A and B are shown apart, each in its own frame.
Chain A
Amino acid sequence: MSRLNRLLILVIAFFSMTVLIGGSTARMQSERTLAGEWIVRSTAINGQTASPKGVSLGFPDRDMVFEQQGDLRTGVVLREDVGHDVRPLGVWRVSGDSFSTTFQLWCPDANGPCGSIVMRGHFVRDDKISGTMTAFFNVSDDNTPTGYDTWTFAFVGNRVVASSSGGSH
């Protein structure tokens, strides 16, 4: 094999690898999305069913719907178990296999504690996610780095499969 042929093969191999790696990265980034409907189940970590200050959200199944329009990524929790108009709002972002969402808690009682939730997780598959949710309650707690009562619990989410008629289960 001539020196020129060897060089040609090396160049072709290099470009092939670049295309393959670039293609798979682009595919990975474009494939992962929260957009759609998810049923999210949460569980306590180490038996912590409430925050250190005694605030708890319970562990209801959460029906979450995420939407994306360009860079605008929004989310809503459908809390029809509480009321038809109860729809806490949130936002989200995805980076590779990881994602982050932040939601506001729904607090109809102005005198009760309120707060915000940050979900951090990763895609187990395109239709399955898992991670942790952290509630930052607007209750002072000198024992936490932020100074706010903080409670973290685990979650697993499964994407709701759209039916053939275009609706969802």
Chain B
Amino acid sequence: MKLRARLSIPKLMTAVCAVAFVLSSVQYAFAGNELKGKWTLTISMPDAPGSSITRSFTVTIDVLPRGESLHGRANITDDSGKTVSAAWRQVGKQVSIAYELPCDGVNPCASLILQGKVKGGGVLIKKGSVIVMWDTENDRNPSLFDTSNGTFRGDQIEQ
């Protein structure tokens, strides 16, 4: 028993150190991939409900710190200089950004939900997906409005 105890203490210490190292690494990895700073988001989505024409546009998102909260706010500015609010949340690398696409009189209004993974130490969102919910009613759609899918990419431009 004594021999077993002597052998198990160093092993136990090694295991504890290993677990602590892994946990701190995971925490560091998630902290490094926190959505923060200023980003460009390049969004590709249909230009109208049911349309096969893709509209691509770039917006700038200024992410405000969320502190200890699960959610944070952000400001999104389009190429015409119009700024609207956004709400975001993040669990691990998985981030979700929601905002209302402004009614600019040219493109139809919609609500956008962007989902993706923050990678590269917190500077890149590759192959993100977009849920588009249009303002046009559609009782055959489970949301009762027309929906579309899109994609987006995010690049951090300022920390």
Q: Which residues of A contact B (CB under 8 A)?
A: 52, 71-74, 85, 87-93, 95, 98, 100-108, 110, 114, 116, 118, 120, 132, 134, 136, 138, 144-148, 150-152
Contacts and interface: CB of A to CB of B under 8 A. Distances in A.
Contact of A118 (B71, B82, B133, B148): B133
A90 B87 contact: yes
Contacts of B82: 71
B27 to A, nearest CB: 13
B135 A89 contact: no
A35 to B, nearest CB: 13
Contact of A100 (B71, B85, B111): B111
B87 A104 contact: yes
A73 B73 CA distance: 11
Contacts of A102: 87, 98-100, 111-113
Contacts of B113: 102, 116, 118, 136
A118 B84 contact: no
B131 A146 contact: yes
28 contacts: A72-B84, A73-B84, A73-B100, A74-B87, A85-B68, A88-B71, A90-B87, A91-B86, A91-B98, A91-B99, A95-B135, A98-B135, A100-B100, A100-B135, A101-B100, A106-B71, A114-B96, A116-B113, A116-B131, A118-B113, A120-B144, A120-B145, A132-B144, A134-B142, A145-B147, A146-B147, A148-B131, A150-B142
Nearest to B94: A138
Nearest to B101: A93
B116 to A, nearest CB: 12
A118 B82 CA distance: 22
Interface string B97-134: 01110110000010111010000000000000001010
- Provide the main secondary structure of the chain A interface: strand
A116 B114 CA distance: 10
B141 interface: yes
A134 B141 CA distance: 11
A108 B115 CA distance: 18
A159 B72 CA distance: 25
A108 B141 CA distance: 30
B91 interface: yes
A91 B91 contact: no
B92 interface: yes
Nearest to B72: A89
A145 B87 contact: no
Contact of B144 (A98, A105, A110, A152): A152
A38 to B, nearest CB: 17
Contacts of B159: none
A103 B135 contact: no
